[in-house]
Every structure is written in C-alpha cells, then in structure tokens.
C-alpha cells in the first residue's frame, strides 16, 4: 500500500507536480500493445456463456439491407428504415440476441450512468417508461429487445453469427457477406454498427495463461461459477472463494461492491484509481413521465448535448454528473471573461481551475467514506477528471470498509505476474481461486481488428488500406470507394461521447433517408464523391484538438494510452468543428433538403 504525502489542494504547482509524477509511473512505451488480444490461446475469453449455439443450415440469398451488429446502432437504424417503409432487413450479430454491449455486459451491478431519459433510444416510439434515472443493464437489454420487437427486426435476425468478410461485387452491385456459419448474403446495402467498445482486451500480464483457477472477462460473466444472476440474486458460490479483480475503470467500479458482498475475500489489484462522484439514483415518477409533451425526448437530447458542450439552456433537464462537469467549466469561463477574454488559453485555464476544485471534492469524498486512511489515500485519483472516464457510484468506496475487501494498490505498475495459483505484486504472492478481468475493450486499434472482419470495396481496396493514413468519410457515415456502405458511429460526425446513442439515432435517421431516396429513385448504387469526402475530412481537421488529449493526462484509452496523437489517431477522434448540436442541426438540413450533396445515386 502506498501513502502519498498530503498535498495542499490550493497549491497548484504542487498539484501539477504530483499529477506529473503519478502519470510518469503509468506511461508504458508499448501503449496499446501492452494489452493481450483475445485470440489463439486466449480466444476462449470471447466464448458466449449466455446461449448454446443451435446448428442451422447456411443461408445463401440476396437481401435488401444487412445490418452488421444488433446493438443500439444497428437497432436504431433498423427502426428508422422500417419507419421509412424499407423491407427485407437482416440483422447479423455474433451474440445470441440483440443488445450489443448490453447483451454481453451482464456483470453484477452493470448499469448505465448516462440518464435513461436520454440514453435509452426511441422511448417515445416504443412507449416505454424507464424505471429509474439510471437503469440497470437488464432493463437496457430488455429495451433493445423492445426496439427489435416493435420494429419487427427479429424477423430476419441471424444471431451467434459472426461476419467474416464483406466484399463489394461490382457486377451485381451488392455486398457479399460471409459468416462463421457458412452463410453468403448478397446485400444491396450494408450498415456497420459494430460498436465503439466491442472487443474485450486482456491485461498484458506475464504468465496470464498459466493460472489454474477460474478466470473470465467481465463482459462474459460466468454466473455458473459465481452463482446469482444478472437480475441481482446473490452470488452464493463465491462465499468460500478468494477472488481477485484486475481493473478499476467504470466496469470494475460497478461490479466490485457486488463481489465484495459475495466473496470470501476480494483482492482489488489497482493500477489507477477512478474518480468516483455522487450517483444519486432515483425512481422515475410515472405521473410526471406520462405528462411529458410529445417530442420531449428530442428536446432532452438537444438540451443535454447543448449543456455538455458548453452551451446555454434555460434549464438543465438531465441534471447529472456529466452536465455538472460542463456547466462548471462553462460558468468559470464566463466568470473569467472580463479578465481573461475568450481565448483558447482562457478556456483551458477555466477548465483547469474548475477541474482542480472538482478533483479536490472527489478526493475529499474518498476520505469521508473510506475509514482506513491508507486505503483512502490509495483510492484517491491524482489527475484531471476527464483524463479518464469519470465514474459515478454511491456504494463503491464504501465496499473498502468491509473486512473481506483488500485494496492492492500497485502504485501505477499493475500486476507483475500471474502463476498457477495466483498473482504477484512486488514480492507478495496473492493466492486466488478466481481472477476476473475488468480490463476494458479495444479502442484506437485498427477498425478491421475491432470489427473482426475486413471490408473490401470497389477496385479491391480494403478499408484498412483506404484508411492507412487515418479515417476518411463524408459525415462519418459514407466512405468513397465503398458504395452502399454505412458506418454507424460518431467519429467525424457528432462525436458526443457522453450520450453515444444520440449519435446512433442521428446516423440511423440519415441512413434511412439516403436508402429511402435510393429505393424511390430506383438507384442501385450510392457513392461518395471523393472530392466531397476530401472536403469533409479537411473540415473536421479544423476542429480543435480535444483537451482530453492533454499530454499531461494520466494514460488511458481516452488519450491513446498517453502516446503521441498522430494524424491517423486524431482523425478517428475528431468531430464536426462547431460541435454536436451544430452537427445534428446541419445533418438534419442536409438529409431533408433532398439534394444529398456529396453523394451520387445511379
């Protein structure tokens, strides 16, 4: 356990020096390569523990639309296509059902800390009222199923089916899709909703494969081993077990209180503590909800996106930790305006000042909750809040007051070695029955690697080659040389990280408008004009580099693990220069104008 000397929170120079020293402990020269890919002898970490695959005959046929990925990106697009009257839509997903991240992540305590009113897409269209301000994963998964049912997307769904290749066939003007089940679908249009946090990664710890106890990644929770269920039944089979967990990001923070209650002993191997702010969950009042005016969700989405990006609104509808962060920064900029002006430097200073205040509060909260002073010191984050994904939880810190919970603070080094019986940190061996990896997902690696297949466009060019110098697109959605192909994401578009589903609903609406236009004009092909793509990329490159990439930030997936951001890495992180609200308004005008400038229909 390390205890740091007490920092005078008001002494900014000392604080900066402390931040730099903590960062230096964590920088790994190998960056993203420090993680182990779940392939080869680690491939079993991806096995689906939730369904048994039923054999079926391979499918060989023409289809109108294929959607790769049945998470919220694919589902919202499917819904918008149905609303536009498009038929013959096929969902393809490696999972056993719809839901994407919410199919896979069933770990105890899993929930979404973006408010359900804005995170759950198409609430008005499906007539659903969320139970709480922040809802558990099972409720989110059920909502994904509700969207699929409401919009008849189960009709042609291929589950437990991984796409293995996607190749444009110039003669038929169709995409040839091959799968792990031996299918060959020839699709007129393909939508790729493969998700931003889809592919689990494992910590690069020496000897990981030698562990002879039980071991799994949080996105493949093994309730057969732990007992209990995703709906909250206690994990009684852990009562006599020594459990270790590696990872204290958003996932670790949510599941640790639950494992703490169930396990004989829990050892939390911490490399970097998360910032844990107040969660303050509450039920949604049905009467209040039912009285909301028609169109309320669009207003809430716009309100949140406005406040999240430093804008002004009469009211903060969502009122959560995310808007609190942004409003603090914005108000500080306004307060400093008279003395500092509105320069990038003034904005940065305002951000730093409000962040210093917030992080002092976060560290004080640790001391107020965690009784053992050394443990409390170990749990204090020494970096700016937005260097890492901020967390919001009301039980996490208290879990460390239990006698059976042991914080093993590795002082930034991480676990050194795993052997057959446990884990080594420094000279100490921790014998374990079970080792759980809450080690996150690949971000920033090549698109084809994360998607699990290569996309080969017109002229035989792969998407990886096309993007060898970085992502290129029109609106983040269409790519020159890849006809009838739609990427459902947020990069080079709205880029609203804190409410990812808002981006998905928008890209779904745009995709449906384009495909509807193609079908109604009997066009068999939609292509991006390369000049339009070039101009769009040039435009997004004028966007200011996010302060998330601050070179003084502690490393993590927000900042390419602290490695230099190259043109290539920056391109997949950029959005519309004027921000998401302006982008959503721009793209709405673009898709409703009927001109579809930048696309060629033939």
475, 587 in Cβ contact below 8 A? yes
**Distance, CA of 587 to CA of 494 (rounded, Å):** 9
Output the CA–CA distances (angstroms, integers) from residue 250 to 335, 408, 439, 528, in the order listed: 32, 18, 10, 38
CB 205, min distance to ligand NDP, A? 5
560 belongs to the binding site for ligand NDP (CB under 6 A): no
**Distance, CA of 226 to CA of 238 (rounded, Å):** 5
Count of residues that bind ligand NDP according to CB under 6 A: 27
**Distance, CA of 473 to CA of 270 (rounded, Å):** 39
Binder of ligand NDP out of 77, 226, 251, 308 (CB under 6 A) = 251
414 belongs to the binding site for ligand NDP (CB under 6 A): yes
483 or 489, CB closer to ligand NDP?
Answer: 489
CB 138, min distance to ligand NDP, A? 14
- Binding segment for ligand NDP among 225-233, 247-255, 370-378, 514-522 (CB under 6 A)? 247-255
Site string for ligand NDP, 59-98 (x = CB under 6 A): ----------------------------------------
118 or 456, CB closer to ligand NDP?
Answer: 118
Query: Looking at 257-390, which runs of residues are DSSP E strands?
Result: 265-270, 276-277
540, 577 in Cβ contact below 8 A? yes
187 belongs to the binding site for ligand NDP (CB under 6 A): no
Output the CA–CA distances (angstroms, integers) from residue 87 to 173, 401, 514, in the order listed: 18, 56, 15
Binder of ligand NDP out of 104, 159, 269, 485 (CB under 6 A) = 269
Helix axes 296-308, 321-340, angle to 10 degrees: 50
370-409 positions binding ligand NDP, by CB under 6 A: 389
| Closest of 170, 193, 191, 167 to residue 178, by C-alpha | 167
Binder of ligand NDP out of 272, 302, 509, 510 (CB under 6 A) = 272
404, 267 in Cβ contact below 8 A? no
What is the number of other CB atoms lying within 10 angstroms of the CB of residue 341?
10
263 belongs to the binding site for ligand NDP (CB under 6 A): no
246 or 399, CB closer to ligand NDP?
Answer: 246
Q: Kindly calculate the radius of gyration of the chain based on its CA atoms and give it in whole angstroms.
A: 24
Binder of ligand NDP out of 185, 438, 471, 528 (CB under 6 A) = 438
- Binding segment for ligand NDP among 54-62, 163-171, 197-205, 329-337 (CB under 6 A)? 197-205
183 belongs to the binding site for ligand NDP (CB under 6 A): no
Q: Are strands 422-425 and 391-392 parallel, antiparallel or unpaired?
A: unpaired
Give 276's strand partners. 391
| Closest of 230, 252, 238 to residue 50, by C-alpha | 230
235, 255 in Cβ contact below 8 A? no
**Distance, CA of 373 to CA of 389 (rounded, Å):** 25
Binder of ligand NDP out of 38, 203, 444, 489 (CB under 6 A) = 203
439 belongs to the binding site for ligand NDP (CB under 6 A): yes
**Distance, CA of 168 to CA of 460 (rounded, Å):** 8
- In angstroms, how far is CA 413 from the centroid of its own chain? 25
444 or 457, CB closer to ligand NDP?
Answer: 444
Binder of ligand NDP out of 249, 390, 476, 481 (CB under 6 A) = 249
- Binding segment for ligand NDP among 241-249, 312-320, 330-338, 396-404 (CB under 6 A)? 241-249
Binder of ligand NDP out of 65, 79, 86, 246 (CB under 6 A) = 246
183: CB partners within 8 A, 6+ apart: 58, 59, 60, 158, 161, 177
247 belongs to the binding site for ligand NDP (CB under 6 A): yes
256 or 350, CB closer to ligand NDP?
Answer: 256
**Distance, CA of 262 to CA of 359 (rounded, Å):** 31
72 or 447, CB closer to ligand NDP?
Answer: 72
**Distance, CA of 122 to CA of 192 (rounded, Å):** 20
**Distance, CA of 231 to CA of 48 (rounded, Å):** 18
452-511 positions binding ligand NDP, by CB under 6 A: none
252 belongs to the binding site for ligand NDP (CB under 6 A): yes
Site string for ligand NDP, 8-47 (x = CB under 6 A): ------------------x---------------------
271 belongs to the binding site for ligand NDP (CB under 6 A): yes
33 or 170, CB closer to ligand NDP?
Answer: 33
479, 485 in Cβ contact below 8 A? yes
112 belongs to the binding site for ligand NDP (CB under 6 A): yes
- Binding segment for ligand NDP among 59-67, 69-77, 106-114, 505-513 (CB under 6 A)? 106-114
114 belongs to the binding site for ligand NDP (CB under 6 A): yes
Site string for ligand NDP, 306-345 (x = CB under 6 A): ----------------------------------------
- Contact positions vs ligand NDP (CB under 6 A): 26, 112-114, 197, 203, 205, 246-252, 254, 269, 271-272, 389, 414-415, 438-441, 556-557
């Amino acid at each position: 356990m390390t205890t740091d000397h007490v920092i005078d929170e008001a002494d900014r120079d000392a604080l900066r020096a402390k931040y730099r020293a903590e960062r230096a402990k964590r920088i790994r020269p190998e960056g993203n390569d420090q993680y182990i890919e779940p392939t080869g002898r680690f491939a079993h970490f991806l096995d689906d523990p939730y369904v048994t695959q039923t054999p079926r005959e391979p499918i060989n046929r023409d289809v109108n639309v294929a959607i790769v990925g049945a998470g919220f990106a694919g589902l919202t697009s499917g819904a918008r296509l149905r609303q536009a009257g498009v038929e013959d839509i096929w969902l393809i997903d490696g999972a056993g059902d719809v839901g994407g991240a919410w199919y896979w992540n069933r770990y105890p305590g899993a929930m979404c800390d973006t408010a359900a009113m804005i995170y759950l897409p198409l609430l008005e269209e499906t007539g659903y009222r969320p139970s709480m301000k922040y809802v558990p994963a099972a409720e989110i998964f059920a909502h994904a199923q509700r969207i699929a049912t409401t919009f008849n997307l189960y009709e042609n769904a291929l589950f437990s089916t991984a796409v293995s290749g996607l190749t444009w066939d110039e003669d038929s003007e169709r995409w040839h899709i091959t799968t792990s089940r031996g299918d060959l679908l020839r699709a007129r249009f393909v939508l790729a909703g493969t998700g931003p946090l889809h592919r689990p990664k494992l910590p690069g710890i020496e000897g990981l494969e030698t562990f002879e106890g039980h071991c799994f990644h949080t996105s493949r929770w093994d309730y057969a081993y732990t007992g209990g269920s995703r709906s909250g039944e206690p994990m009684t089979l852990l009562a006599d077990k020594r459990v270790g967990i590696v990872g204290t990001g958003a996932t670790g923070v949510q599941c640790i209180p639950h494992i703490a209650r169930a396990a004989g002993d829990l050892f939390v191997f911490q490399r970097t503590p998360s910032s844990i702010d107040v969660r303050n969950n509450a039920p949604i009042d049905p009467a209040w909800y039912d009285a909301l005016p028609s169109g309320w969700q669009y207003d809430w989405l716009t309100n949140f996106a406005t406040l999240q990006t430093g804008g002004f609104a009469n009211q903060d509808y969502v009122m959560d930790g995310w808007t609190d962060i942004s409003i603090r920064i914005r108000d500080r900029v306004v307060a400093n305006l008279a003395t500092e002006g509105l320069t990038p430097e003034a904005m940065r200073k305002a951000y730093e000042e409000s962040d210093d205040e917030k992080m002092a509060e976060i560290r004080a909260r640790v001391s107020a909750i965690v009784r053992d002073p050394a443990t409390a010191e170990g749990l204090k984050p020494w970096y700016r809040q937005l260097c890492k994904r901020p967390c919001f939880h009301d039980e996490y810190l208290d879990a460390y007051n239990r006698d059976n919970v042991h914080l093993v603070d590795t002082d930034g080094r991480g676990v050194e070695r795993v052997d057959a019986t446990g884990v080594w940190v420094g000279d100490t061996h921790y014998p374990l029955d079970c080792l759980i990896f809450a080690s996150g997902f690949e971000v920033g690696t090549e698109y084809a690697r994360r998607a699990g297949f290569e996309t080969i466009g017109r002229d035989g060019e792969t998407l990886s080659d096309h993007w060898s110098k970085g992502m290129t697109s029109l609106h983040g959605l269409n790519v020159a040389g890849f006809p009838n192909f739609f990427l459902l994401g947020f990069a080079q578009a709205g880029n609203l990280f804190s409410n990812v589903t808002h981006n998905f609903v928008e890209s779904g609406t745009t995709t449906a408008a384009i495909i509807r236009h193609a079908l109604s004009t009997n066009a068999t092909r939609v292509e991006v004009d390369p000049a339009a793509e070039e101009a769009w990329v040039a435009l997004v490159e004028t966007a200011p580099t996010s302060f998330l990439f601050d070179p003084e930030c502690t490393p993590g997936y927000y900042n390419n693990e602290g490695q230099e951001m190259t043109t290539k890495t920056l391109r997949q992180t950029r959005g519309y220069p004027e921000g998401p609200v302006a982008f959503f308004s721009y793209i709405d005008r673009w898709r409703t104008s009927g001109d579809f400038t930048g696309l060629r229909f033939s």
